[in-house]
Copies of this chain bind each other. A is one copy, B any other.
């Protein structure tokens, strides 16, 4: 792959610094100056790359989410056949929780944190967040669909509904972990969802 041009590299650096700062401080808690200082870019040139803070954040939401989805899909493909769908899901939540815990649980899911902070305050960000949430729900739905086909998950609830519930429990759990920094408690809640609530009725006796 050709080396990216300098301007492309700067754009990429700005986005990555933005993801870092917004994960820690949220939308309103992060100033453009903080991001520029981290990347050593003069203030004036920010607007050569992005039309506004809003446009910048909308773009970095997609960048953040798509990057994680690529990693997720790579893992799901690489482990298919070796791990069942539920064991894949378990690995994903365990790896994700540990990764968030590395920042004393302060760098949590950027999608959930920005959704909670912004809601529909910014059309651009709201659309980027919804696009991201929907992409995650598609992956989870496919995973639960396969889990049902393999008898690993109860079959009486539509995979999409299971995916929505799982996503909600996940985001709520991260929110609590950001507050109490209790990785074990977070893992316990996610394990409860997987092991007790979603397993087939016959296995649940």
Give chain A's interface residues, CB within 8 Å of chain B.
25-29, 104-106, 108, 112-113, 115-121, 126, 129-130, 133, 156-157, 161, 164-165, 167-173, 175-176, 178-181, 185, 188-189, 192-193, 196-198, 201, 204-205
Contacts and interface: CB of A to CB of B under 8 A. Distances in A.
Most B CB contacts (10 A, CB to CB) among A25, A119, A167, A176 go to: A119
Contacts of A130: 179-180
Contacts of A193: 165
Number of identical monomers bound together in the oligomeric complex: 2
B119 A106 contact: yes
Contact of A172 (B108, B170, B179): B170
A188 B160 CA distance: 12
The 8 A-B residue pairs whose C-beta atoms are closest, nearest first, are: A168-B172, A116-B116, A28-B28, A171-B172, A172-B172, A119-B178, A28-B29, A197-B197
